[in-house]
């Protein structure tokens, strides 16, 4: 009996060995193909080592193991050694990622990205439920309907957040600087993404145009909006790309075309494989009048929006104002694998005409940093790391087409840096509790006929609003109110007018308290030509440098 068992064990063992020999042969073919390209003769040895470890684990582990899960985990572990944008998909994930191209859906209205273990809000989309409730860029989503999303990827989190329009979802958020988790009950809506939600002529004769993202209609929309503004006789143009997460590369190139003409190099890609090296030039014989253009960016401007801003800077067609951009300049390509799996691999990086690389390596390092993953690093420390990276960027000097100095090292550095005013704790709470929106809805029930476009709240109406806020358990001291009285008045005015006359009229009032934009408008009031603005930027930066020295 014992001999029979031994014989059976040997047969099973031999069968297993044969199976692993077959796997090993397949791995050997793959390894040899890869080794011939990379010159790494050690790849086969390591693959053999992997198969041996897997075989021993499967044969000897105390409990039966799911080999599929083991191999999936091994692949994901391997990808932990590369950048955070290279990602392995299971069949379900790959199918969703490849086919999810719907133009509208029942959602919240936020652009998100995974930073460390947390799904983080890159930007709320104007006019959506999340925007109205006061969800902010930088908010970390910890739970959806009580289910933890810490460690989940963006696709898994999106599945939990999306749903039928009209249904409710509870979002728990960790906000930098706020001790306790914040909870937002949000009613899902159909989210329609309009590329250019706002376009109008300002009181000083300058056109204002906000590009929210670069989608399939951006070039067409931009041409239409520019035609309308030019027909009104604008003397300059502000293009607002703040919190623009990017989008379609071709649309970014075609919108640049409107300002620089045909045959201009906008962006090129460089990677290890020759087929990843491509150049993208403008194609259309179109160019707008030579009025001065200022492009507004911030740390929420990423990818295609950085290519647009950087290209106008490189071709000396626009002054860039605001804060350094995000620095997302890597190219990913999707590869299908066997059994319906897939992999998204970073294959190249984006460079603009001056030779600057868009990609900011500090972002990838922070995404991989265990301290960030574990919450063991403060917001201030992260800020210091970014500032150190920005300082290092200024060591990499490049030149525009007319010889102006610009800086590389990742992201777009503005010609003139202007910081945005920060929302106070009381302002955050009023937004979070949706106080302005709710009060304006109630207000219009009784006063709609009294509200015209020039409506402004009286002092008594502001006091009525503050009493309403108290009834909603929003506590505050009078000193807090006094410090942001102008902002509260502006928010209330814009919400009441917006409820009656729409988002554009709401936005026109809202931007009166937008410090970055108001400072940008002042540049047009002081300088008439782009050449004058460039000279001012150089003088401004020289003076700034002297003060720091």
Residues assigned a catalytic role: 303, 314, 328
Pairing type for strands 182-187 and 168-174 reads: antiparallel
As given in the structure block, the two tokens for residue 522 are 């002042």
Label residues 313-328 b or e (16+ Cβ within 10 Å = b). Answer: bbbbbbbbbbbbbbbb
C-alpha distances (whole Å) from 50 to each of 70, 78, 224 are: 12, 12, 58
Nearest to 280 by CA among 264, 294, 295, 259: 264
Beta bridge partners of 101: none
Element (H, E) at 460: helix 459-471
How far is the C-alpha of 248 from the C-alpha of 109, rounded, in Å? 19
Tally the residues of the chain: 549
Task: Check: CB of residue 366 under 8 Å from CB of residue 385.
Answer: yes
As given in the structure block, the two tokens for residue 387 are 């500032």
DSSP tag of 242: T
DSSP tag of 301: -
φ, ψ of residue 246 in degrees (nearest 5): 110, -140
DSSP tag of 398: E
- The burial of 31, by beta-carbon neighbours within 10 Å (0-12 exposed, 13-18 middle, 19 or more buried), is given as buried
Nearest to 446 by CA among 395, 519, 506, 496: 496
How far is the C-alpha of 245 from the C-alpha of 298, rounded, in Å? 11
């Amino acid at each position: 009996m014992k001999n029979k068992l031994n014989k059976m064990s040997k047969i099973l063992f031999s069968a297993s060995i044969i199976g692993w020999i077959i796997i090993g042969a397949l791995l050997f073919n793959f390894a040899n193909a890869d080794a011939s390209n990379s010159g790494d003769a050690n790849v086969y040895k390591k693959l053999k080592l992997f198969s041996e470890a897997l075989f021993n684990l499967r044969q000897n582990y105390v409990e039966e193991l799911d080999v599929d899960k083991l191999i999936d985990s091994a692949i994901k572990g391997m990808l932990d050694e590369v950048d955070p944008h290279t990602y392995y998909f299971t069949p379900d994930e790959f199918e969703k990622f490849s086919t999810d191209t719907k133009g509208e859906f029942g959602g919240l209205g936020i652009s998100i990205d995974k930073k460390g273990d947390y799904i983080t809000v890159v930007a709320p989309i104007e006019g959506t439920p999340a925007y109205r409730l006061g969800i902010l860029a930088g908010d970390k989503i910890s739970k959806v309907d009580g289910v933890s999303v810490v460690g989940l990827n963006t696709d898994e989190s999106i599945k939990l957040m999306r749903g039928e329009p009209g249904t409710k979802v509870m979002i728990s958020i960790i906000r930098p600087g706020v001790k306790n988790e914040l909870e937002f009950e949000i009613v899902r809506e159909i989210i329609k993404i309009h590329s250019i939600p706002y376009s109008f002529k300002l009181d000083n004769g300058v056109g204002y145009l906000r590009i929210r993202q670069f989608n399939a209609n951006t070039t067409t929309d931009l041409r239409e909006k520019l035609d309308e503004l030019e027909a009104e006789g604008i003397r300059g143009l502000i293009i607002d790309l703040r919190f623009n997460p990017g989008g379609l590369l071709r649309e970014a190139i075609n919108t640049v075309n409107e300002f620089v003409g045909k045959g201009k190099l906008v962006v090129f890609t460089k990677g290890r494989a020759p087929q990843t090296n491509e150049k993208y030039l403008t194609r259309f014989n179109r160019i707008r009048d030579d009025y001065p253009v200022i492009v507004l960016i911030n740390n929420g401007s990423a990818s295609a929006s950085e290519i647009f801003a950087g290209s106008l800077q490189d071709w000396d067609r626009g002054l860039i104002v605001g804060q350094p951009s995000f620095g997302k300049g890597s190219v990913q390509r999707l590869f299908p694998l066997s059994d319906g799996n897939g992999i998204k691999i970073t294959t190249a990086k984006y460079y603009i005409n001056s030779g600057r690389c868009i990609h900011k390596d500090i972002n990838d390092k922070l995404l991989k940093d265990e301290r960030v993953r574990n919450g063991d690093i403060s917001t201030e420390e992260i800020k210091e790391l970014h500032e150190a990276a920005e300082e290092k960027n200024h060591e990499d000097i490049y030149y525009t087409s007319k010889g102006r100095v610009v800086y590389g090292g990742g992201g777009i550095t503005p010609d003139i840096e202007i910081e945005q005013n920060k929302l106070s704790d009381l302002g955050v709470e009023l937004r979070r509790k949706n106080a302005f929106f709710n009060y304006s809805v109630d207000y219009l029930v009784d006063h709609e006929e009294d509200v015209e476009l020039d409506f402004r709240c009286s002092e008594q109406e502001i006091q009525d609003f503050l009493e309403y806020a108290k009834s909603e358990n929003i506590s505050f001291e009078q000193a807090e109110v006094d410090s942001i009285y102008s902002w509260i008045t502006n928010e209330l005015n814009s919400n009441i007018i917006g409820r009656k006359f729409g988002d554009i009229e709401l936005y026109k009032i809202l931007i009166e308290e937008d410090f970055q934009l108001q400072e940008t408008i002042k540049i047009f009031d002081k300088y008439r030509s782009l050449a004058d603005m460039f000279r001012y930027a150089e003088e401004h930066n020289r003076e700034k440098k002297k003060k720091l020295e």
